[in-house]
Amino acid sequence: MDTDITTNSFNPSCTPHWEKLHQYSINSGHLNIARMLKQNPGRAEQLRVQWQGFYFDYAKSLIDDASLAELFSLAEASPLKQCMAAMTSGATINRSEGRPVLHCALRDPDNFDIDVDGGNVGQSVKDSLQKIADFSARIRSGQWLGSTGKAITDVINIGIGGSDLGPKMVCQALQQYAQQGINCHFISNVDGAEILSLTQRLNAETTLVIITSKTFTTQETLLNAKTALAWLQEKLGLAQPQNSPHVIGITANTGNAQEYGIPAEQIVEFGTWVGGRYSLWSGVGLAIAISIGYEAFEELLAGAKAMDEHFFNAEYAQNIPVILALLSIWYNNFLGAQSCAVIPYCERLTHLPTYLQQLEMESNGKSVNQNGEALGYNSGGVIWGQPGTNGQHAFFQLLHQGTHLIPVQFIGAVNDDLSNDEHHQVLLQNMLAQGAALMLGSEQADAPGYAHYPGNRPSTTLLMDKLTPFNCGALIALYEHKVFAEGVLWGINSFDQWGVELGKKIAKQLAKDSDNGNWDASTKQLLKLLSKGSK
C-alpha cells in the first residue's frame, strides 16, 4: 500500500489540473447550459449514468466538455483509488483519531475477514446483525414482553447525530414497509419538552427505550435517557428500569453500557471503527429493523453494498458519486458557489436534506489538510433543502431570481405505490419544470425587471424507479461515497469531527463553574439572565 495515503496529504491546488480549471473558470462567462444542450444534441446522452434502478442526469450542469475532462483528470491524479483500497483494507485513514473506516463492512461482512482492535471485523458484524434480527423479530411478533407481560407497541430511540438522523430518516422514507401496531419515536434534542411530551402520550407498559451512544457518555443522550428511565420507574414501579426488558443499549462501549445497568444480553455492540454518521447500517439501525422488518433491513444493506461496488469499480466517467463530488468541487472552488440545495420530490424523504447536512458538513467542514496545515482553498459547502413542491413556494424564489449561484440536486422516484397517477404525475412534472426553468429563465423585451428570470442556473436530476429499501440503501451510500471522494480530492480527513468537541467542552465548564467570573462580559450577562429566569 502506498504509504503516502496515510502519511501525506494530497494538495489539489499543486496539480496542473487545478490551474487549468482555474483558467477555465475565469473564462466561464461563455457557459450557457441551454445553448450547450442545443448545440450538442448528444450532451443529454453523454452526461447521464444509468445504474440498476437509477438514472442520473447532469446535462444541466454549468460545465463544458473541457472543464469536465479536466475534473476527471484531477480525479485520476488524486489518490482516490488508493484511498478506496486503504479504506476497505482496514488501514487507519482516520488519522487524527487513529481509526480505520469500515462502514462498508456493515453491509458486506463476508468480504471483510480482517482483524481490527483484536477482533475480526466480519464476524463482529455478523454477531451484531444476528442480534438485530433476533430483537426485531421478537418485538414485531409480540414475543418481547414488558415487565407487566404486555407486548411492545412503541419504541423510543434516544440518540443524537448519526444515532438519530440515520434511523429517523430511513424509517420515514420506508414507512410504506412499517408494521402496523408498532410506532417508532425519535428523541435527540436535549430540550426536555420533547421527551416529556412524548412520554405523556405513551403507555409505559408497552414502551421499549433504545439508548444509542457510541461511548455511552453523550450528555444529551444520557440526560434524555435519565428522564425516560424516571418515567418507567414512576409508571411501572421498577427500581432499576435499565435492568428491565423495557431498555436496550446500542454502543461501541459495552463496559459503560453495563455499568449503566443494562444487561449484556440487551446490548447491541458495534465497532469503534464505525463513525456516527455512517452507523445506521449497524446496531444503530435496530429501530429501522423493528419498523420495516429484518428482511427489508437486509435489502437496505444490499442496496448500500451494490452502491459500494459501483463506487469502487466503475470508471470515473460512469461513477455517480465521483461525478457528484467533481461537480461539487467545480462549483465550490472555481465558480464560487457556497451552498447546494438538495430537493427530493418525495415527502417521505423529508429528513434526507437534514441527514445530508450532517453527512457532508460534519465530514468536510474542515480548514486544514491531513497534516494539520491550513488549506489554501475552500472545502465543504453548505447543504440545505426540503421536499418539493413545498420548496417552490418558499426558497425557490431565491434560486430563480436571487444573486447567489446555488446548484440544485433534484431527487425523485418514477413510481410510487402510495400515491396515485394524478398526484404523482403532477409532482414529477413540477420537478422537471423547475429544472428546465432554472436553466432556461425567461426574458421578454417589454417585461419589467422584476419579471426577468436570468436562467442558466445548474441542476442535476437523480431518478429511482421506486423508493424501495434497496434503492434507499443505495441512495444513502451514494452520498456517503460522494462525501468521501470530495474529502480525498480536497486532501482532508472526512471522518473526524473535532469542531463538535469545543462547544461540548465549554458547556460542561459552564455547568460546573458558571459563577467563577472567568467568562467574557457577554457570556456573564447572559448567564445572569438565565439564572434569574430559573428562579
* Residue tagged active-site, from 22, 452, 504, 508: 504
Beta strand ranges found along 361-458 (DSSP E): 382-384, 408-415
Q: Which helix (H) or strand (E) holds 184?
A: strand 183-187
**CA 461, 464, 469, 470 torsion-angle sign:** negative
Question: Beta partners for 342?
Answer: 409
Q: Distance of alpha carbon 262 from its chain centroid, rounded?
A: 29
The SS3 of residue 227 is helix
- Identify the residue whose cell numbers are 425557490: 396
Name the grid cell of 330.
Answer: 467545480
* Residue 179 DSSP symbol: P
Q: In whole angstroms, what is the distance from residue 240 CA to residue 414 CA? A: 50
Vertex 363 angle, CA 221 and 378, to 5°: 140
Cis omega (within 30 of 0) for bond into 389: yes
Does 532 participate in catalysis according to the annotation?
no
- Identify the residue whose cell numbers are 489540473: 17
CB 6 within 8 A of CB 92: yes
Burial code (b: 16+ CB inside 10 Å, e: under 16) for 77-111 equals ebbbebbbebbbebbebbbeeebbbbbbbbbbbee
Q: In whole angstroms, what is the distance from residue 83 CA to residue 306 CA? A: 19
Please name which of 230, 233, 262 lies closest in space to residue 249, comparing C-alpha atoms: 262
* Residue tagged active-site, from 265, 315, 393, 535: 393
Does 362 participate in catalysis according to the annotation?
yes
CB 356 within 8 A of CB 383: yes
* Residue tagged active-site, from 205, 220, 362, 486: 362
Compute CA distances 463 → 52, 154, 177, 245, whole Å. 11, 34, 20, 43
CB 369 within 8 A of CB 311: no
Does 205 participate in catalysis according to the annotation?
no
Residues designated as active site: 362, 393, 504
